[in-house]
A and B are shown apart, each in its own frame.
Chain A
Amino acid sequence: MLEKGKISTLQMEFMIIPAIIATGVLSIPSISGKYARHDMWMTPIVGSIIGFITVYIVWKLHQLFPKLTPFQYSEKILGKVVGRIFSLFLIFFFLHDTGIVIRQYSDFITSNVMRETPSVVFSISITFVSALAVRGGIEVIARSAVICTTIFLCVSLVLLLLIKDVEVSYMLPILEDGLLPVMKGALVHTAWFSEFFLLAFIYPFINTRGKGLKSGMKASLYVMLLLLYFHLFVLTILEVSAVNQLYPVHSIIRSISVFGFFENFEIIITASWVLGNFIKVSVFLYVANLGIAQLFGLSNYQITVFPLSLLLVLLSYWDIPNIVGLVDFLTKIQPFYFILVQTVFPLFLLIIAFARRKRSESR
């Protein structure tokens, strides 16, 4: 076995929560607001359905193949050749996804915090620290995640200082144009919620059997609540004009002012987002890396980490021309693409696996 580490379900939750919302909190609100407008606060609730479904599918697959990752059981389900092609596809998918995450992060930092530093500095640095964590294995990622996520989530409480500026009437009228705009807005969320597919790669390394489903569902719920929390504040403070902002959460934090002294918290929250993004990139890089090692039968997965992370830095620039292109991708392509790969494909895997099992039982 390549990975000898074992982690607890709680550590898994700490890993998966920033792995979903670290970039989500940056760009989701403005995109979902574009469609759902006053009702954008409902979008995470609707979108989370995909999260719960994905967790359930992944859990069922995990129960069929308790000690294997999707790279391994896809071979068993689809046969050697097709399974390997599928695994290769998954690896490229995760590489691509990690590239996007790194790009989102470094673009955000350069456009908001360090305007004169080239973005490549930030993409290299975040990839480097993540690569270090990945080299340590899943235990190191999990332990770092406990601390980083705690800080990341605690700093998010800063938003509560905005309560005095909240204007609840911005949420009205509720469901003015029916449910359809909400559904459209929720589609953006589904891309992020489908990332719960990552659990499939973490489940085999959990030390307590049988608790994975519950904690996966819990994680999905927490992510939904967190997104709801951010959306509520964005909507009630910026109203629908949030749509015009690239990073609405960042914008509302700018407006915090307590006693005229505690101002400009955006630096602190950006700093904490570095921690969140570190966990996100680490988890994604870990999965891609583990996939390569498992697919090509490497004796350890540490050797590919640094070459792969170098590739990732390049990939993050190769794919996306600029921030507008990125938003376009996030709005129009990502929801369909991500759901297809991370929810629909696993569903097919599950159906085929069940069918095969049925057939072998009936014989």
Chain B
Amino acid sequence: MIRIRRRPSKKKAKGHFRAAQQNPSHNTLLSKNLEENTQFFSSLYEESSDVVFRSFVVGKKGATIIYIEGLSDTQKLDEQVLETLLDKNEFDETDFLLSIKNRLPISNIKKISTFSTCIDSIANGSPVLLIDGFEEAFSLGLVKFEKRSIEEPQAEGSIRGPREGFTESLGVNTSLLRRIIKDPALKMKTVHVGKYTKTKVVISYIKGLVDKTLIEEIENRLNRIQIDGVLESGYIEQFIEDNPYSPFPQLLYTERPDVVCANLLEGRAVLMIDGTPFSLVAPVSFFSLFQSQEDYYERFWMGTFVRTLRFLFLAVSLFLPSVYVAITTFHQEMVPTDLLLSLASSREGVPFPAIVEAIMMEIAFEALREAGIRLPKQVGSAVSIVGALVIGQAAVQAGIVSAPMIIIVSITGIASFMVPRYSIGLAIRMLRFPIIILAGFLGLVGVMLALILIIIHLSTLRSFGTPYLGPISTQQKNWMQDTFIRSPLWKMNTRPRLTGEYNAVRQGANLKPGPNKSGE
């Protein structure tokens, strides 16, 4: 039995030849001598007080269990493994390993034969059982570590919709997906990234809906990454983007399983990273960053209305301060007379030109907002009081800033919260400043030039090969169904077209509900 098993393990060693050369001590096969093996591991884990070596005798043979405290279920290890092995019962000498395996009441038990797999198994929390006289060890699947329970997502709230959010542990997150999508076509490929963290990254997709080349491309980009560690999905995001210099996010991050599943069902791929509740969705378009899951859960009229509102406020948050600067500096004649009079009277005592005023106030607002996020919650209210009273009220009364400017800045601030995805909100916040400067120099023409520059940039941008402004600017079929408007679910018969292969039909035709339709 052992001999037969040895061959494939040799082959495996050959396959890993290159890796073995880089790291010769790790990828060699286990030795027959228990002493040598334990020696190796104890030298590897020297100065690591949390690694436990437990030696004992099983049926006249020496054995050692190695595990890391806190990662493995010690109670089960004691009760199920040690108790069985230390039992006086005889083990079948002719096939010792098999008899041990058959005796142990553990469902997930694997034979491993190289040092590196042993190390991986120990690091992941599966205790390793080494037995004297055998070149193979057992990895006992008794992983148990402290994790956060499933909670409501903090960053993406909703009124109607599932309340479950992803957690930091990958196993929980994949199980959440499996619970929603039961079809075996849901695939999960694993890639390890990070030299020291060895973070598990799972590429999840639905076979038959997704373009195969997209998955290959994602894998290639992930395999290119050679960094020390991955601490958040942002690390991965920044290494696999199409255009790293763009201010716009080219992947969407979410901590909601329902969002992930919706995207999977539309033929996108999802990257789930161990250690963070945020998953990445690729490819995305500009318009998908303005979709919130609740648009689909509520009636389509509401969805459409809210979406229109979002795009309106996108324009407001990008252009309102700069349009104000342009109008007050260059195009006063555009303002109706009464309004102009009140504007002029409130700007009368203000010593700064509008552009300086606008930039000053926008920076102050951004600082307030940033301070509010980082501060402990108890202090946060103090910041808002100081911000509202001192900067708002007192600055106007002192005649440093005009009241209309305060109004403009606050409206802009509120407008930028309308964007359902935080990452694109950041881009908008940042772009506001150069636009204000352009408006201060060239008036509304400058604002238009800024708009053109943004449009050109967005037109050049791609996310994993799909045009960023699609499907609007690429004028695909059904380009309106899920962009500015959200058409009724029974009408969205096609999936959005991404790249390459395309599984168009989403649902049956003629799904429009109504009375007297049941029998048809």
Contacts and interface: CB of A to CB of B under 8 A. Distances in A.
Interface of A: 8, 10-11, 14, 109, 113-114, 117, 121-122, 125-126, 129, 132-133, 136, 139-140, 142-144, 146-148, 260-264, 267-268, 270-272, 274-275, 278
A268 B327 CA distance: 11
Interface string B462-487: 00000101001111000000000000
B244 to A, nearest CB: 18
B477 to A, nearest CB: 10
B442 interface: yes
A140 B448 contact: no
A129 B459 contact: no
Contacts of B333: 264, 267
B445 A109 contact: yes
Interface of B is mostly: helix
Nearest to B467: A143
A-B CB proximity, top 9 nearest: A143-B473, A143-B459, A274-B448, A140-B459, A10-B475, A146-B473, A271-B444, A264-B334, A267-B334
A147 B472 contact: yes
B474 A143 contact: yes
16 contacts: A8-B475, A113-B330, A122-B445, A126-B449, A136-B459, A139-B467, A140-B460, A143-B474, A146-B472, A146-B475, A148-B455, A263-B334, A267-B333, A268-B444, A270-B445, A271-B444
Given A144-B455, A146-B473, A274 B334 contact: no
A15 to B, nearest CB: 11
Contact of B444 (A14, A142, A263, A267): A267
Contacts of B452: 129, 133, 144, 148, 274-275, 278
Q: Number of contact residues on B: which range applies?
A: 20 to 34
Contacts of A262: 336
Interface in B399-458: 442-445, 447-449, 451-453, 455-456
Contacts of A260: 336
A274 B453 CA distance: 12
Contact of B448 (A8, A121, A143, A275): A275
A113 B326 CA distance: 12
Contacts, number: 93
B445 A271 contact: yes
Contact of A8 (B331, B455, B456, B474): B474
Contacts of A272: 448
Contacts of B469: 143, 146-147
Nearest to B336: A261
Contacts of A125: 442, 445, 449
Contacts of A113: 330-331, 443-445
A129 B442 contact: no
B473 A129 contact: no
A136 B456 contact: yes
B328 to A, nearest CB: 13
Query: Looking at A113, A147, A275, which has the most chain B CB atoms within 10 Å of its CB?
Result: A147
Given A143-B474, A146-B475, A148-B455, A136 B460 contact: yes
Query: Looking at B327, B447, B449, B469, which has the most chain A CB atoms within 10 Å of its CB?
Result: B449
A133 B457 CA distance: 9
A221 B212 CA distance: 43
Contacts of A271: 444-445, 447-448
B475 A129 contact: no
Contacts of A132: 453, 456
A211 to B, nearest CB: 13
Contacts of B444: 113, 267-268, 270-271
A126 B446 CA distance: 10
Contacts of A278: 452
A147 B330 contact: no
Interface in B316-364: 327, 330-331, 333-336, 339
A133 B475 contact: no
Contacts of A140: 456, 459-460
B474 A275 contact: no
B354 to A, nearest CB: 16
B253 to A, nearest CB: 25
A139 B468 CA distance: 12
Interface in B95-125: none
A148 B456 CA distance: 10
A120 to B, nearest CB: 13
A254 to B, nearest CB: 10
B456 A147 contact: no
Contacts of A275: 448, 451-452
Nearest to A128: B449
A260 B339 CA distance: 11
A139 B456 CA distance: 10
B442 A121 contact: yes
Given A132-B453, A144-B473, A268-B444, 9 more contacts: A14-B475, A109-B445, A117-B442, A121-B442, A143-B474, A144-B459, A263-B334, A264-B333, A268-B334
Query: Looking at B334, B452, B473, which has the most chain A CB atoms within 10 Å of its CB?
Result: B452
A256 to B, nearest CB: 12
A129 B460 CA distance: 13
A102 B299 CA distance: 49
Contacts of B330: 113-114
Nearest to B333: A264
A263 B336 contact: yes
B453 A129 contact: yes
Nearest to A136: B460
Contacts of B336: 260-263
Contacts of B445: 109, 113-114, 122, 125, 270-271, 274
B455 A147 contact: yes
Contacts of A136: 456, 459-460
A136 B455 CA distance: 12
Contacts of B456: 129, 132-133, 136, 140, 144
Nearest to B468: A143
Contacts of A10: 475
A140 B468 CA distance: 11
Contacts of A121: 442
Interface string B159-182: 000000000000000000000000
Given A143-B459, A260-B336, A274-B452, A267 B475 contact: no
Contacts of B459: 133, 136, 139-140, 143-144
A293 to B, nearest CB: 19
Contacts of B335: 264
A136 B457 CA distance: 9
Contacts of A143: 459, 467, 469, 473-474
